Amino acid sequence: MAPLLFVEFTLQPHPPHEGFPCHRSRLRGELRAYINRMLGDAIGNPRARMRWTFQAYLEEIVLRDRHQLVHWPPHIPFANLSLLKGGIRTLLELRRLLYSQDPNLAIRFEPVTAEECAKAVLDPMSMHPNPAMANLSDSPIFEPLIVHSSALHPGDLGRLGSHPTSTQAGAVKKMFGKVRRRQRSDVKRRHQRRTGKNTSHNSQTGGSAAVLHGRRRPPKRGITSFQFVLPETADSKCCQRSDYYLTDDPIDEFVSDEDADEIEPASEG
């Protein structure tokens, strides 16, 4: 019998950026985090976030925070990192410039003077990180690809229709229009339930068919409070109200004990 061989296996902690599906996504996340941290250190706000559209960049980063992004490469358009073409090579080029120690090449944030802010209001393109490729920043980098996948029945795998999908959000809706909603026909209607069996003969359903009835509402109790409440009971919250009973012959006025003694003999006589 061969000797037993024990293999030591220890679970290793998850590496950073485990949630990203590929190396390109991890690299984009690293660049975004580094630029956000660099912007937060420049303006003194650790919760600052970079804006990748030129209008938001001009309003928030330049005019509000008084900073601008310098040394952006001229061959890469200033846009969202997810829309940049060139694959991972473009992202590696941005990473090299971000981590560069050369002050003439490193991408960084610099303060903006009051004169530059006034100029940016009159000429917004003067603050664009890459004005030569400004037209390519706001337009899609590639045309959307629409794939027509077949929808099959789960039972017999029969073809039910086509379900188009696209690599860009909104491309299918823009080309084919909005899909008509299939709302239920009994929305905002009384739900029916089966409450017994039909005793009348029916050729289609038979004598044992259940009858559909609408759900009846429970009867209302109406007003359950007393008609009259004594003042001392209503004013005092600590007092507990006892039971009061109404009478058909209410007392209109109250008399003193002396008058009551005089009334009793008169009533007896």
Q: How high is the pLDDT of residue 20? A: 54
Q: How high is the pLDDT of residue 97? A: 93
Query: Above 50 in pLDDT, residue 17?
Result: no
Q: Is residue 190 part of a domain?
A: no
Residue 127: pLDDT band with limits 50, 70, 90: very high
Q: Is residue 194 part of a domain?
A: no
Q: Which of 32-41, 51-60, 210-219 has the lowest mean pLDDT?
A: 210-219
43 and 112 in a common domain = yes
Amino acid at 131: P
pLDDT tens digit string along 225-243? 777 666 665 555 555 555 5
106 and 161 in a common domain = no
pLDDT tens digit string along 158-211? 888 888 887 666 778 877 777 777 777 777 777 666 655 554 544 454 445 556
CA dist 171 and 174 (Å) reads 5
78 and 153 in a common domain = no
Q: Is residue 229 part of a domain?
A: no
132 and 62 in a common domain = yes
130 and 150 in a common domain = no
Query: Above 80 in pLDDT, residue 256?
Result: no
Look up the domain containing 157 and give its range: 146-176
Q: Is residue 265 part of a domain?
A: no
132 and 153 in a common domain = no
Other beta carbons less than 10 A from residue 78's beta carbon: 21
131 and 86 in a common domain = yes
158 and 130 in a common domain = no
Six token digits for residue 1: 């019998």
Question: How many domains, the chain?
Answer: 2
Q: Is residue 29 part of a domain?
A: yes
Q: Is residue 30 part of a domain?
A: yes
Q: Is residue 203 part of a domain?
A: no
